[in-house]
């Protein structure tokens, strides 16, 4: 099995932080633009967030190229109905999900797909990656 992140919503952590702040009264577009200019502030907000508060993790999309046997794809779909997969041909699949789906899968499963998903988000959601890496190394 091979998994490679090929696209994602830009500035995911700023978007998550903006979603958190807008529940307290800020205008969404203003909060998002301010947090894009201040990535450290966005990081500090995301660091404090409880992962079970799922809604703020749904405002994004991640897309991967997945190479896997049909059995692995079926197992993934049976474990989580929120991954979307399209066969590209042979053992190649286009897979997409939001960060909430990824977080839930990583926290519930200890398998090669969970590990590959975790590694794939390191660049686009580094604060979330660090928190999950800390949880899975225990």
- Write down the pLDDT at residue 30: 82
Contact of 88 with 94, CB cutoff 8 Å: yes
Domains and CATH numbers, the chain: 2-136 (3.30.1360.170)
Q: Which one-letter DSSP state was computed for residue 15?
A: H
DSSP string covering 91-108? TEEEEEE-HHHHHHHHHH
- Write down the pLDDT at residue 79: 94
Profile the chain (138 residues) by mean pLDDT over runs of 10 residues.
Answer: 96 89 72 90 84 75 97 94 96 97 94 96 96 86
- Write down the pLDDT at residue 26: 60
Global confidence as pTM? 0.80
Taking CB atoms within 8 Å and a gap of at least 24, the contacts of 125-132 are 125/12, 125/13, 125/99, 126/13, 126/43, 127/13, 127/43, 127/46, 127/47, 128/13, 128/16, 128/46, 128/99, 128/103, 131/47, 131/51, 132/51, 132/103, 132/106, 132/107
- Neighbour count for residue 96 (Cβ, 10 Å): 17
């Amino acid at each position: 099995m091979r998994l490679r992140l090929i696209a994602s919503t830009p500035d995911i952590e700023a978007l998550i932080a903006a979603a958190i702040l807008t529940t307290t009264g800020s205008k969404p577009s203003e909060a998002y633009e301010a947090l894009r200019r201040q990535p450290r502030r966005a990081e500090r907000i995301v660091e404090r967030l409880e992962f079970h508060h799922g809604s703020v993790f749904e405002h994004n999309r991640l897309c991967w190229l997945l190479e896997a046997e049909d059995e692995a794809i079926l197992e993934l779909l049976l474990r989580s109905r929120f991954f979307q997969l399209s066969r590209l041909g042979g053992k190649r699949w286009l897979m997409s999900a939001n960060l909430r789906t990824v977080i839930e899968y990583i926290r519930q499963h200890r398998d090669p797909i969970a590990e590959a998903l975790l590694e794939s988000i390191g660049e686009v959601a580094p604060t979330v990656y660090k928190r999950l890496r800390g949880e899975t190394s225990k």
